[in-house]
Amino acid sequence: MTTDVRSPDAVTGEDDVFTLAKGYYTARALVALWRLGLFDRAHRDGELVPDAIAAEWEVDEEAVRPLLNYLVVRGLLELTGTGSFRLTPRAHEAWAYRGYLSTMIGAYEPVFARLEDLVTGRAVYGRDVSRSHEEMVRGLTVLEDRMMGTVGDAVLGAKARKVLDLGCGSARMITRMCELDPDLRAVGVDRDPGSCAVAEETVAARGLADRVAVVQGDAFDLASLPADVLDGVDSVTVMFLLHEVLRQRGRAGTVGLLRQIADLVGPDGRLIMVEVSGTVDVRHRERQLFVPEYELLHEYTNQRLAARSEWERMVGEAGMEVADVLPVDMCQSFCLVARRPGELR
């Protein structure tokens, strides 16, 4: 089966290549605007004043202007009468989704810069190349509102008393849940020291050190975590991490981890997981927002997506039943709530 994915205005092969190149340049320029803080500034202040930016950064104004001028050409900025720039309505709409510029482009830039080496085995992901954890966390942080309602409601609805968050990243999710419920305690576990440092900062900034702990450790092996981390846990949240287990530990390893979680939370506890569903049917790939691209980046970064139905099967094999599947307002994501089938309820 072939699918013609040429852009609608590409008439020839040459048009097509240039359209692809334009998309690349535009996306890269927008990533720069976001990383430099100018996307947020334009959204907040209503305008970008190049000479003020240049003075603040102590650079020549001529270094700042070309980026802004290019984004005018591509319809994301427009010039005001006074020579400053403002976001176009299109860019204002895109701003709400700016976290994807990090999670889907910026964080994987080091990976795609060495794609040929990864394909040919000259480089190995995790040894020679890795995505930017810092940028991943930064992107997810601004996308969190899109899943906070769903996941927060699931945790609070389960009347959880102690939540263990596996792969906690910035810990913003668990700290927000603890802010909403003064009787809730939480432990965030992350393998990456940089993420743990950010998580510690979040906890301190929110004054939650007495109820939220951050532990650097391997979430794929619950038995390796200190006993006081696991003690009293009645809910486990795991957001955008299980697909890494699936690739690195295989299906049996993933079911094994889910079984450890089922044993940990006990008969009244809950697993609340957020995942991105992989492609179910190749014929529908083009209608799925970004999924083929998302699958590609996962293939080269030691991660593997699975369809929602496959996650439901693995949860069942781990001795749990699906209590609920809730929509998450993030690209092809879902929130699955599972519990042990129990006689106590």
Ligand X SMILES: C[S@@+](CC[C@H](N)C(=O)[O-])C[C@H]1O[C@@H](n2cnc3c(N)ncnc32)[C@H](O)[C@@H]1O
Sequence-distant (6+) residues with CB within 8 A of 306 are 243, 246, 275, 277, 278, 314
Sort residue 167 into left (φ over 0), alpha (ψ -120 to 50) or beta: left
For residue 145, the minimal CB distance to ligand X (Å) is 12
For residue 250, the minimal CB distance to ligand X (Å) is 14
Quick check: 75 and 90 in contact, CB under 8 A? yes
For residues 108 and 135, give the distance between their C-alpha atoms in angstroms, rounded to a whole number: 9
Minimum CB distance to ligand X smaller for 136 or for 236? 136
For residues 1 and 14, give the distance between their C-alpha atoms in angstroms, rounded to a whole number: 23
Minimum CB distance to ligand X smaller for 123 or for 148? 148
Q: Which of 65, 133, 176, 251 is in the footprint of ligand X by CB under 6 A?
A: 133
Of 74, 76, 69, 111, which is closest to residue 91 (Cα–Cα)?
A: 76
* Contact string (CB under 6 A) for ligand X, positions 214-253, x = contact: ----xxx------------------xxx--x---------
Residue 189 DSSP code? E
For residue 107, the minimal CB distance to ligand X (Å) is 9
Minimum CB distance to ligand X smaller for 48 or for 166? 166
For residue 195, the minimal CB distance to ligand X (Å) is 4
Residue 342 DSSP code? -
For residue 15, the minimal CB distance to ligand X (Å) is 37
Quick check: 233 and 260 in contact, CB under 8 A? no
Q: What share of the chain is helix, strand, coil (3-state, %, to 5)?
A: 50, 15, 30
Residues 55-94 contacting ligand X, CB under 6 A: none
Q: Which of 68, 140, 258, 273 is in the footprint of ligand X by CB under 6 A?
A: 140
Minimum CB distance to ligand X smaller for 253 or for 319? 253
* Contact string (CB under 6 A) for ligand X, positions 155-194, x = contact: ------------xxx-------------------xxxx--
Residue 344 corresponds to which amino acid? L
For residue 173, the minimal CB distance to ligand X (Å) is 6
- Beta strand 212-216 with 235-239 is unpaired
For residue 311, the minimal CB distance to ligand X (Å) is 16
For residues 88 and 80, give the distance between their C-alpha atoms in angstroms, rounded to a whole number: 11
Task: Work out whether 136 is an interface residue with ligand X (CB under 6 A).
Answer: yes
Which residues of the shown chain bind ligand X in the complex (CB under 6 A)?
133, 136, 140, 167-169, 189-192, 195, 218-220, 239-241, 244
